[in-house]
Structure formats: C-alpha cells, structure tokens
A and B are shown apart, each in its own frame.
Chain A
Amino acid sequence: MSQVPKESAPLEGYAAPSTVEEALRLIADGDATILAGGTDLMLQTKPGGRLPYRRKLVNIRRISELRGVSEKDGRMSIGALTTITDIDNNDLLNTVTPVLPQTANCFASSQIRNAGTVGGNICNASPAGDMIVPLLVLDAEVELSAWTNGAVTTRLVSLDKFFTGPGRTIKQPNELLTRIVFARPDKKLFAGYIKSGPRPALEISTVSAALSAIRDNGKLSRVRIALGAVGPTVLRAVKAEAYLEGKTVTAQVAAEAARLAAEDASPIDDVRATAWYRRHLIQVYIKRLLENDSQG
C-alpha cells in the first residue's frame, strides 16, 4: 500500500446547466462526470481516490426543477437534487412517510446534509447509503433520463433492481437520475429505520435497517425489510419478509424473523466491524423495528 497518489486524467471541460434537457445533451456522449453535492465525489476523485474524472465535469446543482418533493395522483416524487436537509425539513414527507425525514436526521452532519443530495446518495451506490434503505421498503422506483435521438427519454426502474454491486448500478453513463417515485403509503403502513453507532450522525453505518409493513388487526402484510452495510449493495431480507407475511408479532416471531434476516445478509469483516457484530446488530434491530421501538 503505497502512500503515493494514483494518477487521474486531466479535466477538459466544465459545465453547469440549468435545465434537465441541457444537462442530458451535455452528457449524451457518456463521457461526463456528474457533480451534485459532491460530498462523495470530491473524496473519491482526490489524489489517492478510486475514481478518475471523465473528460467533462457537469455540475447539475443549478437544475432547480430537480429539487423538491411533490405528490400527484397518489404518487410521491422526490427530485434527485433534493438535499438531505430538504428531506429532513419537508412537511409533506413528515406527514406521509416520517421514516424518510427520520433517516435524514441521522445522516452525517448539518454541513454534509446541506450539500448532499438524495440522487447522489443513490447513484453513489454505497452498501451503506442511508437514504436507500428506507426508500427500498417504500418500493421506490428511480426515473432515469437520457437524450436519445434528439429527444429526452425516460425509464422507470425499481430501486430494488438498480444496484449491481458496490458503487455499481444499471444506470448508463449518458443517463441522469432525475426523480425518485413511490406510491403514497397506506395509512395502516408503519415504517421504521435504525442506524448503528453511538453517534449515528457522522457515522458511516456499520449496520442500518428499515422495515415497513401494513398491520391489520395485529397481522402483518406487505412486509419489506432492507439492510444497509451488510452486503455488496443495500439489500432486501427476503426470507425474513416472507416469514413475517401474515404473522402476528410475538417475541418468538420477532426472534425468528431476526435470525432469518441475519441469514439474508452477507456481511464482511472490515476495519469498522466484524461480520459477527453486523449479524448481531441486524437481529437486534429487526426485533426493535418489529416492536416499533426504533428510537434505539
């Protein structure tokens, strides 16, 4: 492990478009690095980082149409450039899905939250990406836009299918993530999120977990569990979900679901925690989420 920085290619151009169309035209050749809040990018492209810049740097922060939260026909839409602070402070989200503001609230520090965007968090595709975890249990989809054959084209992809590995997604280099959309949650849906660490803020998650389900007369249905930092991508605990479907939560049921969720995960040992501890925490968190005790 040499301490000498690796080489990264010199930049040839910089642009800061103010509309989606302009941005898509600029990146149409697929040879642009996209800059949103830069809170991931700046660290990665510094000397010694893992990514070299592409030829052009396209700063998308001035595209105001991509910032903000809205609702239409029972569909929620969050613009890719909505900052983590925006989510934390958003009244609509606070009423409709408090789990998102709750997650934003234990995300990094105020400074990072002010700059970092939800689109950046998703596109960075870190297995520890905090916003991804609750969005997965809300069955969110991402809208990918591109400039093809002289027009803006879009496709919707389930967030579940978006990630292919750490830092890797199905997004093409000529595509921009423009929006995150999900159905307005049912009134009976409950959702919770827990992140590890004695200081959740400014902590890269050792483990994070989100759970949502509809609880009707004590019985669970439409159960979704997502786990962060315990595999190559944020992942769904499908065995645990299936097990919980139709069940009433008891201590035994919670313990079994927790055990299955730990099986669903594939954590590793690294400098932050061992696989053992990650599995241990998954079980603690799943039990707590089922007991609706996400305050930790």
Chain B
Amino acid sequence: MEPIAKKSLIGQRVPKPDAPDKATGRTTYINDMVLPKMLYGKILHAGRPHALIKNIDVSAAKALPGVHAVLTAADVPEMFFGVGRDNRPLKGGKVRCVRDEVAAVAAESEELCDEALRLIKVEYEDLPAVFDPAEGAKEGAPLIHDNKPGNRSLAYQFKHGDVAAAEASSDVVIDSVFNVHYVTHCCMGTSCVIADFDCDGKLTIYSQTQYPYNFKMDLAPALGIHPGDIRVIQPPVGGAFGSKLDVYPFEPVCALLAQAARRPVKLTFSREEEFINAPTRQPVRIHMRTGAKKDGTLTFRKVDCLLNNGAYTSWGPTVPFVMMRTFSSHFRVPNVDIDCRAIYTNNPYAGSFRGYGNVQATYATSIHADMMAEKLGMDLLTFSLKNAQKSGEVTPQGARLNECVFAECLQKAADVTDFTAKHARYAAERNKPGRIKRGIGMASSIHNAGGAKIHKSDGCGTMIKLDDYARATVITGASEIGQGIDAVICQVVAEELGIPMSDITIVNNDSAIAPWDVGVHASRTTFIAGNAAQRAARKAREQMLNAASKRANMPADALDLREGWVVHDSDGTPVLKIDKLLREMHFSREPELVMVSEYYEPPSEPENKEHVGDMSAAYSHAVHVAEVEVDTETGEIRIVKFTSVQDVGRVINEMGLEAQLEGGIVMGIGYALSEELKIVNGQVRNPSFRDYKVLTAPEIPPMELHFIESHSSTGPMGAKGIAELPTIVPAPAIANAVYNAIGIRFFDPPMTPEKVARAIWERDSKLAAAE
C-alpha cells in the first residue's frame, strides 16, 4: 500500500449535499407533503385594522358538506402566546390589525375551505385606529391592548460615559433622522404547517421552524398542552431568513383545527396571504447625533429609536438588543446614550430577519461616518481607520474584540476598489453636465460571529454513531433551512474521522431524535454546531484510535485516520481499514460501538440588566464598496460593481461561503433600492411580486468577494459566523455611493427611481429659483 498523505477538506469548495435533489425537483418540501386522511385548513383574516367583533355566524360554513371543523375564539381556551404574551391564535372581542385571525376552517380541499370562509358572516364595528408610533404614544390615542397603557411595548436604554461633556468637547456634531422601512422575507416556500394529534393528545407538527426546541415551549401555551407532548418534524423548507424564529398564529390555529377535526390538517398561505400575514423586518425611526474631534476621533453617539410595534409583539421590537450593539461598537465610540421604545399600533407586526436590527442601525452609523468624514474634510478610509478597533479592545457593552481585523478589512476594501482616488474624482465630476453620474461608496459594520447568548443557553447537542461499514450518522440539533450547515458538518466530521463526506448522513429534522439547539439565528450555526460536531467527532476519533492502538501496538497519538484508513501519523503508512477496525471493535469479546455525544456551550455571557456582557464568543467585521451609476433624469440606480471584504475567521466551505455572501448582498441591495412593503392605514398595498420588487438576475451586479481569515481562537477550525453581515452592509454603501454621485443623502430607503428623481428635481428647482 502506498502511504496516504494528510489532506484537509477545510477551505475546499464543497457542494451542498441537498443541492442535486433540490435542483432536479426531487425534494419533497413541506409545501408538497400530503399525509393520509389529511384535511386542509384556512384562516379568515380580519382585513381591517381595528374593530370590535359584534357577532360571528359560522352556521352556514359548518353546514357545508366536506367541512370538518370551524373554529372561532369562542371554541378555544383563551390562551396567550408570543414574545410579549399578547397574541392569541384566534381573536375574540376585537381585532387589532388586518392579519387578525377571526375564524378558521378545516375541510376536504382548499377550495371547500374558501367556500366555507365566504359563508362566515362577521359583524364588525370599526374603531379609531393608530398607525404611527409617535401618534400611538400620545395621550388620548386609541388604546390597542387594555393592559398596555400608552401603547407602550418594549423599551431599551444603554448609557456609557458622559455624552453631554463629550458633545461640549466635540469640534463637529451631526444630527440626522433616518426612517428605515418595512420589508419582508419573500421565502420561496410560503408559510405552511401540518398538525396531527394522536389518540393520547400528543401533537406531531410538521413545521418550517428554524428553532424546533424552543418552538415547542412557545407553541404549548397557545394550545394549552405540555411542551413535552409536542414532536416537531422539519421537512425541507423554501427559505426562512428569520421569519420562522417564532410561533405565529397560523401554527396553533392549524393544531386547533387538527384537534377539533381529529384528522391531520395542513395550512398553507397563498402568496398574497404571505405578504400580508408573514412577519416583516422591523421599521425604525432613528434619530442619531454623532460628534467628533477635528482629528477625526469619534467622541459620542446619542441615539433615539422609535419602533412601530404593530399590533402584537414578536421578535421585531426586540431588535434594539442588536441595534444598541452597533450604535455602541461600530467604531470606537467612547460615550453613548441610547434610548429605544416600541409603541403598539394597528399595523401588521415584525419578526426577526437576517441582520436583526443591524441592517437598520448600520444604515445610520455608516451614513454618519461618511457625513462626518466629509464634514471634517477627511477621506472616509482615513476616518474609518482612525476609529476602527484593534484586537483586544472591549466595547462599552462589554464585547471583547478578540482577533479583530477591522482595519485590515477597511484597507483591503479601499485598495482593491481604488476607493479614495475614485471617490475624489467622482465628487469633482458631480456638478459637471451629464445625465449619468458615477459614485463610489463604502460602508462597514460589526456583528456577533460566535452566537449570541440571549437565551439561557446558546448551545447545540450533537451525537455521532458509526456503523460496521464506517458510515457515520451525525444527529445534530442544528436545523438546515437552506443555509448550508449540512455541508459544513459533513466537512468537519469527515476531517476528524478520515472518512469521505459522502459516507456521512445528517439527521436534524426531528425533535424526538436530535438533541437540543437554540435555533438557526444570529449567524451562529457554523460556529456553534460546527464546534459541537467537531468535539463529538474528536470523541469518536479518540475511541477509534485507542482501539486501533491496541491492535497496531502503537501509541494512539502516533496514528491518524485518513481516507478510510488508520495510518501512521508520521509517514501515512496504512495500518488497518477503518471499517475493519469498527467491525473488530463491535464483534469482539469486549464489544464496543462508536456512539458519542457532545453538548457545546460557547464561552459567552448573557447581558446584565444594564445591557453589558460579552454575549458572543466571537465578533467580526465586513466592509462593502458599491460603485454606482445614477441616471439623473429617471432616478434609476445601476450598481456597476459590488465589493465585499469580510472577516470570516476561516473559510470552511468556500462555495457555501460565497453563496451566503452573494445571497445576503442581493437581499441587502433589494433593501436599499427596490424592496418595500407599502403599509398604508394598516393595509398592505402591494401584496404581490408584481408590486413588491425583489431583485431579479439581470439587476444583480458583478461581485468581488474577499475573505479575511482572522482565525478565531474559539471557532471551529478558526471559523466565525458569517451569514448576516452580507445583508447588513450593502444599503449604506449604496447610499454613500449615490451621495458621491449626485450629492444627495437618502435617510429613508429604499432609494427607488422615483425618490431619487424627485430629490434631484427638487434640488435643481431650488437652485434654479435661487439664481
């Protein structure tokens, strides 16, 4: 036998194991699933923002042949659920937003459900409504929940240092109000759930959830059953992006229908329902004051945030957790004073969404950096480098920036795009004649990259077993929602066990099998589940090497596992095939199977009451540069080139990394330029892809991606979490580029052609009038 050299899979380009089935249409998504004897469910939504329910008559719907259950609030116990425990599966008494679920039916087909819904007669008495949080906070505003005086929902404050003194000592102060808008996730698979009770009252729920374990805890109170009696099965889903990080009313409603009908029930949203009823990104009014010294040193940030809570509290109004981190740590900010309030209104409500508040906060901090640099007469790179933290610094909220390569990212981004020279050139050409103006803009941000300890644990459980043929099964709590964790886990485990990736099966779709994990959020899964998988794999490796050591009569640390063989670590000489070793271990007088488990908890700490704590096990930065062309007549913006430089810790799967970055950037560009859920008087005005514009292939610009490897001491193989920064940074990079091109700031994305054309026209009309 030839010796087997040591090779690493880490940093290679590895296709996602689920990709071929998805690309060829073989995958059965939850939306495709049909269970025997399954019924269909549908919800009657209020369609009005604020009204008393005077009467509901369901008799005709109940009498329709083929209808198996019709439910209203009167039929189910009054159970509250949700982040703010202010939501109910079915609403009685009054409705507070267009989404409100007033009745639900289960029938033999979706068409019958529609017919049954038409037969339900609801009498409403409309109430005065409030849609603007500033109005909602005023005395005498319509009260949305009786037990929420002043319509006050969640509130957050963080203070550090002395902002007043810092302002007094500042040479330059800028003050702006940003209004960031509603967007929605636009998952390819619309919301869908299948609920099935057995005769003992135990619920199996087929769900798109991205947090299966706490999902049980959150769903149980809406149904009045024990969380232990819920089994969550996760079939493949068509996207989540944070929209499946909470329980939403359609899920308990479907379970209640299944309970009432004693049959499995499937409930799926139409695309129109999805636009109206699925969570949005949290809109925020951000009032920010920033100060600096003449030499460019930032002195303070004072931030006031007003959040439109909507009618109920999902994760949306908790985004200040992350926004405050950005306000206090995007650049070195010695003094900060942040005040955030969410006010109930009769609008639809927001959930979590990739970037989680940081998309909103970075729009403000990165535009202010550009404005400050201009005001100081410095170039943005110099200004940014001056205020970029270095490794070892601790932020006002207690984040320890280990392995911090912010400055390297900034420098690299500027170098590869020729940023400073181009920026000066385009600014000089701004006022010359010409219809098309070019601009270049830079933005940056920081994000947690080693999980986020916002729950009691931020851990992930993993079990590995090997069979007699050296095939491994990895049973992990980490959910695959399309982000690519299966590939990463295969790589990490294959690397430790010396077996091919194709010999590894991942099981992570059944809460009755896989151990606990907090969920797919906070850019955490590669970091946390990767660490858990690596540790579990090392236990299996140790067991195998110990067994091999006895058989080979060599110390275990002189052996290695490579390409299906136990080999000499020193020169790669093959000793024994791994499958043979496993069989010998199994079928011996002291039989042993390789089956190991690990629960990994990252070395992070929850925030204290003052919002201080090193809540992530790693942090990372990204710098984006957008080069744009603005048509000054039509207002159309074309992105000529998009460059991203990101601290990724270490590249594990280069292909997965590129896909996450490209997808995230496209989402970020949509946020900047075209996507907006238009909500007027509580109604969603554009509930279709015709009028809600996501980017399509022709508008996606050429991208250049650079990975900076900072080698996290805590990450798996040195990796950091990467998935949110790509969505966080594009919008302000584009806004800064547009400013460079035409000299106009946009504080209220998206920068639609109309908005841009209008701003140019208004400016030019004013100039003309002045002449």
Given contacts A196-B634, A198-B637, A271-B678, contact A3 B758 (CB under 8 A): no
Residues on B with C-beta less than 8 A from A202 are: 696
Q: Give Cα distance in the complex from A126 to B758, angstroms.
A: 27
Given contacts A198-B638, A271-B678, A273-B754, contact A5 B691 (CB under 8 A): no
B373-381, B463-471, B682-690: which one contacts chain A?
B682-690
B90-118 contact mask (Cβ, 8 Å, vs A): 1 or 0: 00000000100000000000000010011
Partner of B758, one of A48, A277, A284: A277
A276 & B758 in contact (Cβ 8 Å cutoff) = yes
In the complex, which residue of chain A has the Cβ closest to the Cβ of B277? A3
Taking residues whose C-beta sits less than 8 angstroms from the other chain, chain A's interface range is 20 to 34
Given contacts A3-B276, A271-B686, A284-B633, contact A201 B698 (CB under 8 A): yes
Which one of B686, B754, B761 has the greatest number of beta carbons of chain A within 10 Å? B754
The answer to whether A280 has its CB under 8 Å from any CB of chain B is yes
A4 & B272 in contact (Cβ 8 Å cutoff) = no
Q: Give Cα distance in the complex from A198 to B755, angstroms.
A: 13
Query: Whole-angstrom distance from the CB of B96 to the nearest CB of chain A?
Result: 16
Partner of B674, one of A2, A198, A204: A198
A198 & B758 in contact (Cβ 8 Å cutoff) = no
In the complex, which residue of chain A has the Cβ closest to the Cβ of B689? A202
B754 & A274 in contact (Cβ 8 Å cutoff) = yes
The answer to whether A151 has its CB under 8 Å from any CB of chain B is no
The answer to whether B393 has its CB under 8 Å from any CB of chain A is no
Q: Give Cα distance in the complex from A156 to B673, angstroms.
A: 46
Residues on B with C-beta less than 8 A from A281 are: 634, 757
In the complex, which residue of chain B has the Cβ closest to the Cβ of A207? B634
Q: Which of B753-768 contact A (CB under 8 A)?
A: 753-754, 757-758, 761
The answer to whether B273 has its CB under 8 Å from any CB of chain A is yes
B757 & A277 in contact (Cβ 8 Å cutoff) = yes
The answer to whether B332 has its CB under 8 Å from any CB of chain A is no
Query: Whole-angstrom distance from the CB of A283 to the nearest CB of chain B?
Result: 9
A81-114 contact mask (Cβ, 8 Å, vs B): 1 or 0: 0000000000000000000000000000000000
Consensus secondary structure, chain A interface: loop
Q: Give Cα distance in the complex from A271 to B273, angstroms.
A: 18
Query: Whole-angstrom distance from the CB of B42 to the nearest CB of chain A?
Result: 9
Residues on A with C-beta less than 8 A from B699 are: 198-199
The answer to whether B45 has its CB under 8 Å from any CB of chain A is yes
Partner of A3, one of B45, B633, B698: B45
The answer to whether B442 has its CB under 8 Å from any CB of chain A is no
Query: Whole-angstrom distance from the CB of B590 to the nearest CB of chain A?
Result: 65
In the complex, which residue of chain B has the Cβ closest to the Cβ of A293? B435
B117 & A280 in contact (Cβ 8 Å cutoff) = no
The answer to whether B44 has its CB under 8 Å from any CB of chain A is yes
The answer to whether A47 has its CB under 8 Å from any CB of chain B is yes
A3 & B118 in contact (Cβ 8 Å cutoff) = no
B683 & A1 in contact (Cβ 8 Å cutoff) = yes
A3 & B272 in contact (Cβ 8 Å cutoff) = yes
The answer to whether A7 has its CB under 8 Å from any CB of chain B is yes
Partner of A5, one of B48, B118, B637: B118
The answer to whether B584 has its CB under 8 Å from any CB of chain A is no
Q: Give Cα distance in the complex from A202 to B696, angstroms.
A: 9
Given contacts A198-B638, A198-B699, A277-B758, contact A3 B678 (CB under 8 A): no
The answer to whether B636 has its CB under 8 Å from any CB of chain A is yes
B696 & A204 in contact (Cβ 8 Å cutoff) = no
The answer to whether B47 has its CB under 8 Å from any CB of chain A is yes
Query: Whole-angstrom distance from the CB of B212 to the nearest CB of chain A?
Result: 30
Q: Give Cα distance in the complex from A276 to B758, angstroms.
A: 9
A201-215 contact mask (Cβ, 8 Å, vs B): 1 or 0: 110100000000000
B761 & A280 in contact (Cβ 8 Å cutoff) = yes
Partner of A198, one of B44, B273, B673, B685: B673
B754 & A271 in contact (Cβ 8 Å cutoff) = no
Query: Whole-angstrom distance from the CB of B123 to the nearest CB of chain A?
Result: 13
Q: Give Cα distance in the complex from A201 to B636, angstroms.
A: 15
Q: Give Cα distance in the complex from A284 to B698, angstroms.
A: 23
Partner of B114, one of A47, A201, A296: A47
Q: How many residues of B contact A (CB 8 A)?
A: 34
Residues on B with C-beta less than 8 A from A271 are: 678, 685-686, 691
A1-21 contact mask (Cβ, 8 Å, vs B): 1 or 0: 111110100000000000000
The answer to whether A272 has its CB under 8 Å from any CB of chain B is yes
Given contacts A202-B696, A277-B757, contact A5 B634 (CB under 8 A): no
Residues on B with C-beta less than 8 A from A204 are: 690-691
Query: Whole-angstrom distance from the CB of B38 to the nearest CB of chain A?
Result: 21
Q: Give Cα distance in the complex from A274 to B755, angstroms.
A: 10
Residues on B with C-beta less than 8 A from A198 are: 636-638, 673-674, 699, 753
Given contacts A3-B273, A47-B114, contact A277 B754 (CB under 8 A): yes
Q: Give Cα distance in the complex from A260 to B620, angstroms.
A: 56
Query: Whole-angstrom distance from the CB of B48 to the nearest CB of chain A?
Result: 8
Q: Which of B626-653 contact A (CB under 8 A)?
A: 631, 633-634, 636-638
Q: Give Cα distance in the complex from A47 to B686, angstroms.
A: 17
Q: Which of A268-292 contact B (CB under 8 A)?
A: 271-274, 276-277, 280-281, 284
Q: Give Cα distance in the complex from A2 to B95, angstroms.
A: 13
Q: Give Cα distance in the complex from A204 to B118, angstroms.
A: 31
Partner of A2, one of B47, B114, B685, B698: B47
In the complex, which residue of chain A has the Cβ closest to the Cβ of B755? A277
Q: Which of A178-205 contact B (CB under 8 A)?
A: 196-199, 201-202, 204
Residues on A with C-beta less than 8 A from B98 are: 1, 3
Query: Whole-angstrom distance from the CB of A122 to the nearest CB of chain B?
Result: 20
Residues on A with C-beta less than 8 A from B683 are: 1
Partner of A4, one of B44, B638, B686: B44
B634 & A3 in contact (Cβ 8 Å cutoff) = no
A199 & B273 in contact (Cβ 8 Å cutoff) = no
Query: Whole-angstrom distance from the CB of B184 to the nearest CB of chain A?
Result: 15
Q: Give Cα distance in the complex from A48 to B271, angstroms.
A: 13
Query: Whole-angstrom distance from the CB of B180 to the nearest CB of chain A?
Result: 20
Q: Give Cα distance in the complex from A4 to B678, angstroms.
A: 21
Q: Give Cα distance in the complex from A272 to B634, angstroms.
A: 15
Residues on A with C-beta less than 8 A from B693 are: 199
Given contacts A198-B673, A277-B758, contact A3 B47 (CB under 8 A): yes
Query: Whole-angstrom distance from the CB of A127 to the nearest CB of chain B?
Result: 15
Q: Give Cα distance in the complex from A273 to B114, angstroms.
A: 33
Q: Give Cα distance in the complex from A277 to B761, angstroms.
A: 10
Query: Whole-angstrom distance from the CB of A46 to the nearest CB of chain B?
Result: 10
Q: Which of A249-282 contact B (CB under 8 A)?
A: 271-274, 276-277, 280-281
Q: Give Cα distance in the complex from A273 to B636, angstroms.
A: 14
Q: Which of B117-133 contact A (CB under 8 A)?
A: 117-118
Q: Give Cα distance in the complex from A262 to B44, angstroms.
A: 44
Q: Give Cα distance in the complex from A204 to B753, angstroms.
A: 15
Residues on B with C-beta less than 8 A from A272 are: 691
Query: Whole-angstrom distance from the CB of A107 to the nearest CB of chain B?
Result: 14
Query: Whole-angstrom distance from the CB of B722 to the nearest CB of chain A?
Result: 29
Q: Which of B721-771 contact A (CB under 8 A)?
A: 753-754, 757-758, 761
Residues on A with C-beta less than 8 A from B634 are: 196, 281, 284, 296
In the complex, which residue of chain A has the Cβ closest to the Cβ of B42? A4
Given contacts A198-B636, A199-B696, A199-B699, contact A280 B757 (CB under 8 A): yes
Q: Which of B676-720 contact A (CB under 8 A)?
A: 678, 683, 685-686, 690-691, 693, 696, 698-699
Partner of A48, one of B272, B696, B698, B757: B272
Residues on B with C-beta less than 8 A from A296 are: 631, 634
Residues on B with C-beta less than 8 A from A5 are: 114, 118
17 more A-B residue pairs beyond the given contacts A4-B118, A5-B118, A280-B761, with a C-beta to C-beta distance below 8 A: A1-B47, A1-B98, A3-B45, A3-B47, A3-B273, A3-B276, A196-B753, A197-B753, A198-B637, A199-B698, A201-B696, A204-B691, A271-B691, A274-B754, A280-B758, A281-B757, A284-B634
Which 8 pairs, one residue from A and one from B, show the smallest C-beta to C-beta distance?
A277-B754, A2-B47, A284-B633, A271-B685, A3-B45, A198-B636, A3-B47, A4-B117
Of the A-B pairs whose beta carbons lie under 8 Å apart in the complex, a sample of 12, sorted by A's number, is A1-B47, A2-B47, A3-B276, A4-B117, A198-B673, A198-B674, A198-B699, A199-B698, A202-B696, A271-B691, A277-B754, A281-B757
